[in-house]
């Protein structure tokens, strides 16, 4: 006996409106899929760039961080006597009447003359005598200003030490990014009692000179 045809499933035809709705839903799914394909790599790139910017800002901030700079209260005045300084190398105090001519020295220089230069706003960078030659060369290249002093310093505890009047920073190497920041902050800085006074026309520290002009005449840095 043939099956009751009234019980057979019948396919329901979609209306034009339903077909349009289906097409729109499919189009929307495809649009979402394309959007994901675009935004996933874009988002990843933005995350990487954001991290790089944050790292750069952090690095620059660290390079300018002078929180490790030590500050000292030091006396001012001239003396012909040998001075025992509280810091090694000294960061100010009584000093010889003749200032040390600013520049690069390959041999140790007298503390008393170098301190006089600090009074005039110079920055004195000292290094261990056994510092690698390439680091010494880097220091010589960096310290080329008219108020820069560079010299080896026997017995130095740190590889490199930067000193200004009443200020000092120990460094692990010549390429420490804080050294340029120290120079910028304290070379001819407000901490110096006589910024702008001469850093030439004094002594080279080897001729035994103890006399200097009676007045520390201000000069304009070349």
Quick one: which H or E segment has residue 51? helix 16-63
Please tell me whether residue 36 adopts helix, strand or coil conformation. helix
Model confidence at 80: pLDDT above 60: yes
Residues 206/113, Cβ–Cβ less than 8 Å: no
pLDDT band at 66 (very low <50, low <70, confident <90, very high): very high
Statement: 70-186 belongs to CATH 3.40.30: yes
Closest CA to 120 of 182, 189, 192: 192
Please tell me whether residue 194 adopts helix, strand or coil conformation. coil
Residues 31-54, mean pLDDT to the nearest whole number: 67
Model confidence at 218: pLDDT above 50: no
Domain ranges of the chain: 14-63, 70-186
Pick the more confident residue, 44 or 129.
129
């Amino acid at each position: 006996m043939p099956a009751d045809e009234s019980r057979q499933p019948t396919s329901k035809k979609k209306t034009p409106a339903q077909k349009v709705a289906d097409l729109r839903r499919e189009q929307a799914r495809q649009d979402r899929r394309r959007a994901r394909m675009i935004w996933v790599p874009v988002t990843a790139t933005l995350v990487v760039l954001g991290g790089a910017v944050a790292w750069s800002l952090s690095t620059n901030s660290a390079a300018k961080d002078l929180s490790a700079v030590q500050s000292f209260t030091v006396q001012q005045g001239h003396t012909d006597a040998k001075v025992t300084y509280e810091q090694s190398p000294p960061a100010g105090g009584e000093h010889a009447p003749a200032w040390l001519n600013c520049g690069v020295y390959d041999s140790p220089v007298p503390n008393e003359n170098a301190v006089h230069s600090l009074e005039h706003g110079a920055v004195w960078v000292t290094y261990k005598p056994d510092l690698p030659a390439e680091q010494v060369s880097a220091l010589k290249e960096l310290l080329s200003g008219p108020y820069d002093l560079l010299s080896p310093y026997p017995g130095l505890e740190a590889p490199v030490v930067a000193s200004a009047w009443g200020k000092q920073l120990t460094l692990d190497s010549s390429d420490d990014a804080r050294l340029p920041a120290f120079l910028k902050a304290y070379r001819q800085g407000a901490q110096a009692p006589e910024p702008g006074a001469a850093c030439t026309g004094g002594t080279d520290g080897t001729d035994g000179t103890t006399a200097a002009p009676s007045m520390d005449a201000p000069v304009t840095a070349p």
